[in-house]
Chains A and B, each alone.
Chain A
Amino acid sequence: MKRRNFLRASIAFLGSVTFLSFLYPLLRFLAPPGGESKTKKLTFLKSEVPVGVSKDIVFNNAPAIVINRPGKGLVAFSRVCTHLGCLVDYDRDKNRMICPCHAAIYDLEGNVLSGPPPKPLPKLPLRVEGENIVIG
């Protein structure tokens, strides 16, 4: 190999290595640092959610909802619409959940009834312990 070509290849190699060695730290820098503690369990009184009423909660740092469905009991969902992240609200009169952004409608099992969401609302683990509701 000629000296000139060798120098060219060396500079290209060193330049690429220098660039790539900064790429990983940059991606790590841009990714959120995390470290926010997650809620392992959330407990509140059953009386706070009478039949036909919902309660907005925050679980694992994300908005969620607990609904006491008439005749079907308690259920908890993430409130974050699976379409583009707006928060769904419980429509008591029509027994469904509605996203105000793109008019998505979910039933009270979390299934998509209409609108553009690609998947159902994620259900959260819920159990009743005596007079308390425990999420998580």
Chain B
Amino acid sequence: MFNRIKNWLEVRIGLDDIVRTHFTEYRVPKNMNVFYTLGCVALTGYVIQVLTGIFLLIYYVPHPEHAFRSVQEIMSKVPFGWLFRQMHVVGSNLMIAAVFLHLITVFLMGNYKRPRELTWIGGGLMLLVTLTFGLSGYLLPWTQLSYWATTVVTSMPTAFPLFGNFVAHILRGGDQVTGTTLGRFFALHIAILPPIFLFLMALHIFLIKRIGISATPFGVSDEEKRPLTQYVRKTHPDGYPFYPYFFQKELVMVMVYGFIMFFIITFMPTLFLPEEANTPADPFKTPGHVRPEWYFLAAYQMLKLIPNKFLGITIQLILVGIFLVWPFLDVYKEKNILKRPILRGVFLFMVALWVVLMFLGRY
């Protein structure tokens, strides 16, 4: 039966050719390490988010009077509703962590360097879209935490004169966060961001395949020394086949991702759902300890520490801009960060700063 389906497809779409060119004869560098699987892990995380998100949509009601209760009912009354909600909540955090790790490892291995500038920018934009997914989804349960975190974020544009108030007004659909805002964030979360993300992901994968995978700089020299005057696809004729060699590595890492997710759901179910996340939104009472999710904590703390609102937000936007165009700013050909002490120092400083700000924001 299986062979008959296979043959049916073979004569119509050339299945064997697809498998051969994209899997069994598609060669990857011999020194590709486990960190190269993080993109695939993030992609799996996204697929989990889409599937669980669709399940949650069946019961969720995007209205301020019903949103909180519908989410509580998903958790307590709908059979296995708690499982899919927890997978969605924990999965969103893990997916963002996977994307962060992917970016950090790409950075450390210098794989953003030419001719892969566009791949880096596409990945950076995907991170921003992923964070917007997190932000827009955070409001949907209509809890105290989500309401006030959204109030803070949608107030940020007001730091900019002339157009700031207009942008904040458009984001919220009014002067304050209301049911209109909930409707907008719901539309953003389920209808506007997914196609943008899919487009960026398709572009990202296309670029990886079109430009060719870059080897790690450790142990071998992998710099693009040729002058970039014409397109040449990077191939690895002496490398290992993608399937089964690298595919197995990806499968193991996806299982590790699943293990972490279900470990948290089973043994630490309140890690991402603290007490405040189970209190319905009250537009007339800001709770004592408003704080965003961990991935926004550093930015949140910076706003506390910098005494000028415009300056605080502008510095953050500049940092995001530098991050996106980094391949154009880092003009050294050396990919190995172990041979670049200044870059290594700056990187460690930035990571330490991020961790410290996150810690201060948390407590």
Known: A61-B175, A85-B155. A118 touches B310 (CB 8 A): yes
CB distance from A10 to the nearest CB of B (A): 30
Do most interface residues of chain A lie in helix, strand or loop, or is the interface mixed?
loop
Query: Which residues of A lie under 8 Å from residue B309 when comparing CB positions?
Result: 83-84, 116-118
Interface residues in B262-318 (C-beta closer than 8 Å to A): 283-290, 303-304, 306-310, 312
Asked if A118 and B308 make an inter-chain contact with CB atoms under 8 angstroms apart, the answer reads yes
B148 within 8 A of A: yes
Known: A84-B152, A85-B155, A100-B289. A63 touches B283 (CB 8 A): yes
- CA distance in complex: A83, B306 (Å): 12
Query: Which residues of B lie under 8 Å from residue A32 when comparing CB positions?
Result: 169, 172-174, 180
Known: A56-B284, A87-B286. A116 touches B304 (CB 8 A): yes
Interface residues in A28-66 (C-beta closer than 8 Å to B): 30-32, 36, 56, 58, 61-63
Asked if B173 and A100 make an inter-chain contact with CB atoms under 8 angstroms apart, the answer reads no
Instruction: How many A-B residue pairs have C-beta atoms within 8 angstroms? Tell me.
Output: 71
Asked if B284 and A100 make an inter-chain contact with CB atoms under 8 angstroms apart, the answer reads no
Q: How many residues of A contact B (CB 8 A)?
A: 26
Query: Which residues of A lie under 8 Å from residue B310 when comparing CB positions?
Result: 118
Known: A87-B284, A87-B285. A102 touches B176 (CB 8 A): no
Asked if A101 and B284 make an inter-chain contact with CB atoms under 8 angstroms apart, the answer reads no
Query: Which residues of A lie under 8 Å from residue B172 when comparing CB positions?
Result: 32
B352 within 8 A of A: no
Query: Which residues of B lie under 8 Å from residue A87 when comparing CB positions?
Result: 284-286
A107 within 8 A of B: no
Query: Which of B156, B175, B176 contacts A84 (CB under 8 A)?
Result: B156
- CA distance in complex: A31, B167 (Å): 9
- CA distance in complex: A77, B288 (Å): 20
What are 26 residue pairs bridging A and B, where the CB atoms are less than 8 Å apart in the complex?
A31-B169, A31-B170, A32-B169, A36-B174, A56-B284, A61-B175, A83-B155, A84-B156, A84-B158, A85-B152, A85-B155, A85-B176, A86-B151, A86-B286, A86-B290, A100-B286, A100-B287, A100-B290, A101-B148, A102-B304, A103-B304, A116-B304, A116-B306, A116-B308, A116-B309, A118-B308
Interface residues of A (CB under 8 A from B): 27, 30-32, 36, 56, 58, 61-63, 80, 83-87, 89, 99-103, 115-118
Interface residues of B (CB under 8 A from A): 148, 151-152, 154-156, 158-159, 169-170, 172-176, 180, 283-290, 303-304, 306-310, 312
Further 19 A-B residue pairs, CB within 8 A, beyond A63-B283, A84-B156, A84-B303: A27-B170, A30-B170, A31-B170, A32-B173, A32-B174, A58-B284, A83-B155, A84-B152, A84-B155, A84-B158, A85-B158, A86-B148, A86-B290, A87-B286, A100-B286, A100-B290, A102-B304, A116-B308, A118-B309
